[in-house]
Structure 1
């Protein structure tokens, strides 16, 4: 069974590619499509960045680009490009309902226990 290296379809990639930053100086850039796939994989799995499979490139690259693009607001722009909606809503409701329960209401046996 082979691992899924590309999380984005060609159509999704064609919408996202123009939004990515270009012309940065420095070391040779690792493939953006693989880096984004690595970021999606790590966010889906919930694992730490250090455990990112090597198929997605160096874990430091994935982590650094995720954080840099988050600060630049790039993820929000990509979300809008893919869904057509910003994902930001004007209002929200918070429910603070709670129920007071006895300390042994969770199923603990109450009272003295018989000794054998």
Structure 2
């Protein structure tokens, strides 16, 4: 697990607060997408520098 990844207890706490809807993120990839946002803000990198493991 990297610093950008959430453990299961953290995800259980945060997950219900994230929007999933008609225009929101895909529910099956929501955790992956959220971890990508965490990675982006922790590193200060540009979006185009994001590793592929977080999806498009």
TM range (shorter): 0.7 to 0.9
Q: 1:34 is matched with which residue?
A: 32
Higher RCO (C-alpha 8 Å, min separation 6): 2
Q: Which residues of structure 2 form unaligned runs of 5+?
A: none
Whichever of the two has the greater Rg, that structure is 1
Of Structure 1 and Structure 2, which has the larger fraction of its residues in helix?
2
The alignment covers a number of residue pairs equal to 54
Q: 1:23 is matched with which residue?
A: 21
Detail structure 1 runs of 4+ shifted over 2 Å in the superposition. none
Which string of whole-angstrom CA distances, capped at 9 and with x for unpartnered residues, describes residues 54-101 of structure 1? Answer: 10011xxxxxxxxxxxxxxxxxxxxxxxxxxxxxxxxxxxxxxxxxxx
Q: Which residues of structure 1 form unaligned runs of 5+?
A: 59-116
Give distance in 2, aligned partners of 1:36 and 1:55: 12
TM-score (norm 2): 0.75
RMSD: 2.5
Which string of whole-angstrom CA distances, capped at 9 and with x for unpartnered residues, describes residues 30-74 of structure 1? Answer: 61111111111111111111110110011xxxxxxxxxxxxxxxx
